[in-house]
Structure 1
Amino acid sequence: MSNLRPLACALALSLIAGLASPAADAAKKKAPAKSKAPAAANACTDFYASANADWLRANPLSGAGSVSSLETLAANARRQQLELLNTAMTAPQGNVQKLLGDFWASGLDEAAVERDGSQPIAPLLGRINAIKKAKEIPASIAALHQVGIPVLFNFGADIDLQDLERHIGYFSQGGLGLPDPAYYTRSDADTRQLLGHYNNYVQKILTLTGTPKEKLAAEAQLVIDLETRIARASKPLPDLRDPRANYAPVQVATLAKTYKGLQLGDFLKAQGVSDDSVSLANPQLFAELDKLIGTLKPDQWKVYLRWRIGDSMAPYLAKPFRDAEFDFRGKVLRGQREQPARQQAVLDAITLAAGPMVGHEYAARYLPAATDARAEQIAGQVREALGKAIDADTRFSDSAKAEAHAKLGKLKIEVGTPKRDLDYSVQPMGRGSFGSNMLIASTWRHREEMKRIGRGNADRRWDVLPQEPSLAYDIAQNRLIVTAAMLQAPVLDLSKPEAAQYGAYGSLVGAELTHGFDSRGRYVNAKQEVRDWWTPAEVSAWDALGSRVAAQYSAESYPGLSATKVNGNQVREVAIADQAGVELSWAAYRAAQPAASKDANQAFFKGWAGLWAQQLSPEIAAQRSASGIHAPGVWRTNLPLSNLSAFGETFGCKAGTAMTRKADQQIKVFP
């Protein structure tokens, strides 16, 4: 719509000039002339509006903050998951579906959940209540981590920054019921009020896990006192944003000697971890925790551990637990007004505890073999186009091109599900207890997570689930990940012309592959070593490109906001990738279809435009304008195409029009 504003202004100025002229009085005696409506958008004036006209008419906001074609894809993936789980509940095919179907049925049976009360966590509480001595506490902590309830600290698998081909275990701060350690020590009025709400919540959970009324206030204070001690030894949240600052390898053999109270060596054995090193970046915190094991009375630890069990499991237990958790975490912390519908809550829970199980079955049900094969074929062709573009790129030296080709040669394309499957052997879940099933499933997922630790396991799984729409370049593993849920309209629709498949899916592939060879990808070489393989001249050339792209976007108005321009510097990296993606996919398409007709070529660009159709409320537009790294849909569509001569040739647009820049004004990532 913004492309129509200059025309509207011109009409307004003409009208003002007419009223001020001597002929104005004479015009009063004549029949009023009908003002011309602004010209409808066409391919050469606003391709986004022209190509998406039907979608935009059919998808008004209707009270929602935003609606977009990709949001519709995500909603469809959620609907498919519900359909899958309902089918697994009534007619399961295979062991994994039987597990999921029983899990789903137990979650939907609210009457059974209410009858269950706190029984699912009774065995865990029984173990905690049986603690007599401080030396028994570390084993209980390890046991809770095993069932997916991290207490006192966090422990998980992640990339070894010195060796990207392996994962190591990371000991990191955690164990708090509030999201920010600063909340425990700040003294402003808002924080004191929050702590008051928190204290009330702790008391509710302690009541439900066995604390008598007369001890509630004292025991809640024991919890908050222990968490405050943890918080004081924890790092501020901003310090956790840089992965390098939280990477500190230590030999496992030294842990048992250094932290005798915590018994971290035994902790690792309990998690099934036998690697020789782990990361522990805040030794001061763990020294404090080690000291607390021996100095605090066992009764304080027992109260804290009971609280952490009840808090972690509250969303999956009977209504008193769920209401208490939602009143604090939902209403106070997240600002929510209502709890999610039961189906959505159970789906979220199953995704958390057994998401990879759902993903395995989702791909088998919703990803046809033909779509999988087509996705791999197009991605391979775009990869070939990238290789040719690197050869032709004059900005890069021979050494940089050699490194890029070596990296490209090792690049892996994984479509649908991870190449390495998981071990789905799990004890039967049954339909009797949703809370117990959450513990069974989360124990399984924790076990599989721990298997990522060690050499040769870094590619064991993705950091996204197959049932979640995602297409992304994994920089650490030098691989393109395309989830099963992503391979449907509007991304890859086999009912559309082949050209449209390249325009949508192929362009997204090109955009993501570019990240392996751009200002981010330059820091990881072909051997998966963290090393900058660009020269200062190449960095300068890329920065100059980025500045031109940023300037191009900054010249455009943000749709739906008055007097607000797109922040070009903020969206620059994604904008560069978008431009590269269209260029590479067009090259791949033309190589595959050199004799394609004009109509086929037009379908390519319509495929690209269809990805970015969206409607935004002024509030959402303002939020995204302020902090979003993606340009609004109209400019993600139009600006890359306006830089592509092939677009103007396909639609017969004259150079210098809105959608076809003059040759000296066009920006190309791969000239």
Structure 2
Amino acid sequence: AALHQVGIPVAFNFAPDVDLKALDRHIGYFMQGGMGLPDPAFYTRTDADTVALMGRYRTYVKQILALTGTPAAKLDAESQAVIALETELARNAQSLAGINNPFNNYAPISTKELTGRYRNLQLDAFLKVQGVNDDLVSLSDPALFKQLDGMVTRIKPDQWKAYLRWRVGDAMAPYLSKAYRDAEFEFRGRVIRGETIAPARWEQTLDAINVAAGPMLGREYASKYLSPDDRRQAALIVDKLREVQIEAVKRSTWMSADAKTEAQAKLAAMKIEIGTPLRDLDYTVQPMGRGSFGGNMLIASTWRHREEMKRIGKGNADRRWDVLPQQPALAYDIAQNRLIVTAAVLQGPVFNAKADTADKFGSFGALVAHELTRAIDAKGALVDAKGELRSWWTPADKTAWTLFGNRVAAQYSGYEFPGVKGAKVNGELTREENLADLAGLELAWEAYNAVEPNAKPAARQGFFRAWATLWPQQLSPNEAAQRVTSDILAPGRWRTNGPLSNLPAFGATFSCKPGQPMQRVDGDQIKVWR
């Protein structure tokens, strides 16, 4: 509980998120966590690449344990004890694909019932230490927490001590002495993130400031780099795309009349936040000091954790973003029915303020339309225009969307996964994002033609080139292997070419004939809003 308080979660994760039955409030979510590797599958797979990765991981664990005080004679035993404990957590964990779906994580339970179920974990005492007094939490994986409850007494204290010390050392490594930083980079930087050169000192410092006081820095960033004209241009494009999306809903041949009415109302009610959030944390009260760098990072982490815990049980769900203004992001917030456009996303290649109209609509416009579609797709249809959790699609609407998804999944499942020999794109895992890419391009093209109906061929080509410039991608072998089974986004090559092959406008613009690689025949083309 004390480590959670300082922002170092061990054994499991606990964090506030929106109550899916009351979207104007937060509840605390108990979820899997406490593992040092990003994917639970790494602990149980037996292929050669994973075995090699685990060997590198064991070396890293030993380095951190040595730095935190384990004698040389005990390093092998303690590192093995740490990995054995994490492996036990991993065996009972969900796959990344499962846990990334928020609806899979929502399982409300009273705190009183929680205490009775898991006596060894003492979760009631844990909540009090975090400052949480709400009578409702979410715990979606009772089998995992039952296993954890047994581990509390079954695993010897010395093994827990080694694990806890390792988790602290690993979490703090980027902010400690050179030996810690070098060890962290050699494993997490080179092996996990695929980096070849350690970040420069200024980058490390900037990353630390983002972690410690990211929203405060975001305000400074936006005031310096986001001009009023850029914000105005972005807002005009968003408004045009929303107008085109509403018209597309009205003429849709697959949406029912009731669904059309609700979709239009939801799109009209959508809040648009560009640049910075409307409300955020007050960083003037953060208690920074003149102590050590690592100590200040702990102070910041502790303060931020306490602020996060204050969200639980209160109706402040729209208070802030889950992304920083200085981080490039364009996202739809389903709980609040709002489109978030960060200050940092309004730069090239997404938004070139001085570029022509085709460029802006082919990049920024297509991404905006991608998110607008998410507001009224299968997942978006679970929340209505009033912010209430209810399914407003008819069975026929659901069937139509499923058929779209099946066709998209089949198309993408035929593509090779770059960087992984013999692997194909997981069409089922990526289907919703691929559908949104296709729908977004359809809408952005329509909006562009409405703004510039007499554009010359060269300008029209610029629309599609702008889309292509968004997705150059090169992955390390480890990263590619991980994404095959966990990434809900298709590889960059197919985010570019997959949706374009369905658009007759692309074929007409570049003189591609039906049946060629970049132009599917009419009967094979998937049309969402056309």
The two structures have a TM-score, normalised by structure 1, of 0.64
Q: 1:583 to 1:428 in 2, by over 3 A?
A: same
Q: Does 1:447 align with 2:303?
A: no
Deviation string for 1:532-560 (max 9, x for gaps)? 43334334444555567678889999999
Q: Equivalent of 2:78, from 195, 220, 224?
A: 220
1:57-114 deviation per Cα after TM superposition (whole angstroms, max 9, x unaligned): xxxxxxxxxxxxxxxxxxxxxxxxxxxxxxxxxxxxxxxxxxxxxxxxxxxxxxxxxx
What corresponds to 1:642 in structure 2?
504
**1:454 is paired with a residue of what secondary structure?**
coil
Q: Contact 1:233 / 1:284 at 8 angstroms: preserved in 2? A: no
Evaluate the alpha carbon distance shift between residue 431 and residue 669 of structure 1 in structure 2; reply closer, same or farther with a 3 A threshold: same
- CA-to-aligned-CA distance 1:361-416 (integer Å, 9 cap, x gap): 22222111221122122212221222222112232221111221232232221211
CA distance in 2, matches of 1:569, 1:262: 37
Aligned equivalents of 1:297, 1:554: Cα separation in 2: 47
Alpha-carbon distance in structure 2 between the residues aligned to 1:428 and 1:193: 43
- 1:635 counterpart letter in structure 2: N
Q: Provide the alpha-carbon RMSD of the alignment.
A: 4.8
Query: Once the 2 structures are TM-superposed, how far is the Cα of residue 175 of structure 1 from its aligned partner?
Result: 3.0
Q: Which amino acid aligns with 1:642?
A: P
Out of 318, 323, 333, the residue aligned to residue 464 of structure 1 is 323
Deviations 1:283-316 (A, max 9, x none): 4554555566567776665554333322321222
- Aligned-pair CA distance for 1:282: 3.8
Contact 1:383–1:513 (CA under 8 A) maintained in structure 2: yes
> Among 457, 462, 468, which residue is 1:612 paired with?
468
1:236 maps to which residue? 93
Give secondary structure in 1 for the equivalent of 2:17.
strand
**Paired residue for 1:169?**
28
For 1:26, the equivalent position in structure 2 comes to none
Return closer, same or farther for 1:449/1:552 CA change in 2, 3 Å cut-off: same
Q: Which residue pairs with 1:362 in the alignment?
A: 221
Give the letter aligned to residue 231 of structure 1.
Answer: E
SS of the residue 2:18 aligns to = strand
SS, match of residue 30 in structure 2? strand
Q: TM-score, normalised by structure 2?
A: 0.78
Label 1:345 to 1:540 Cα distance change in 2 as closer, same or farther (>3 A).
Answer: same
Distance change in 2, residues 1:183/1:542 (3 Å): closer
Report SS of the residue matched to 2:393.
Answer: coil
Q: Distance in 2 between matches of 1:210 and 1:655?
A: 68
Tell me the distance in 2 between the aligned counterparts of 1:233 and 1:559. 28
Structure 2 residue ranges without an equivalent (≥5)? none
Deviation, 1:443, is 2.0
Match of 2:369 among 510, 523, 527: 510
Q: Which secondary structure does the structure 1 equivalent of 2:283 belong to?
A: coil
Give SS of 1:458's match. Answer: coil
Structure 1 residue identity aligned to 2:504: S
1:122-201 correspondence to structure 2 within 5 Å: 142-177=1-36, 201=60
Larger deviation, residues 633-642 vs 187-196: 187-196
Q: CA deviation at 1:518?
A: 2.7
Say whether the 8 Å CA contact 1:567–1:625 is kept in structure 2: no
User: 2: CA distance between counterparts of 1:556 and 1:200?
Assistant: 36
The 2-side partners of 1:388 and 1:433 are apart by: 58
* d(CA) in 1 for partners of 2:107, 2:207: 33
1:167 & 1:394 partners in 2: Cα distance?
Answer: 38
Structure 2 residue matching 1:148: 3-state secondary structure: coil
Change (3 A) 1:426 1:437: farther
Contact 1:612–1:636, Cα closer than 8 Å, also in 2: no
Q: 2:429 & 2:152 partners in 1: Cα distance? A: 47
Tell me the secondary structure at the aligned position of residue 442 of structure 1: helix
1:194 and 1:491 map into 2 onto residues whose CA distance is: 35
The residue type equivalent to 2:88 in the other structure is A
Residue correspondence of structure 1 range 227-626 to structure 2 within 5 A? 228=85, 231=88, 235-238=92-95, 240-241=98-99, 243-256=102-115, 258-259=117-118, 261-287=120-146, 289-290=148-149, 301-330=160-189, 339-427=198-286, 429=288, 433-498=292-357, 500-543=359-402, 545=404, 573-574=432-433, 576-589=435-448, 597-599=454-456, 603=459, 606-613=462-469
Alignment check: 8 A CA contact 1:608 1:637 kept: no
Contact kept? 1:500, 1:605, Cα under 8 Å: no
**Structure 2 CA distance for partners of 1:558 and 1:440, relative to 1, 3 Å:** closer
CA shift for structure 1 position 476? 3.2
Give the aligned residue type for 1:610: A
* Unmatched segments (≥5 aa) in structure 1: 1-141
Say if 1:525 and 1:532, in contact at 8 Å, map to a contact too. yes
CA distance in 2, matches of 1:195, 1:507: 40
- Which position in structure 2 is the counterpart of 1:629? 490
Amino acid at match of 1:273: V
User: Is the partner of 2:95 in helix, strand or coil?
Assistant: helix
Greater alpha carbon shift after TM alignment, 469-478 vs 310-319: 469-478
Does the CA contact (< 8 Å) of 1:423 and 1:448 recur in 2?
no
> For the residues of structure 1 that align with 2:15 and 2:237, how far apart are their CA atoms?
35
Offset at residue 160 of structure 1 (A): 2.7
State, as a whole percentage, how many aligned pairs show the same letter: 52
The 1:568/1:176 distance shift into structure 2, 3 A limit, reads closer
* Pick aligned residue for 2:68 from 163, 186, 209: 209
Q: Superposed, which structure 2 residues align to 1:19-34 within 5 Å?
A: none
Q: Which amino acid aligns with 1:398?
A: A
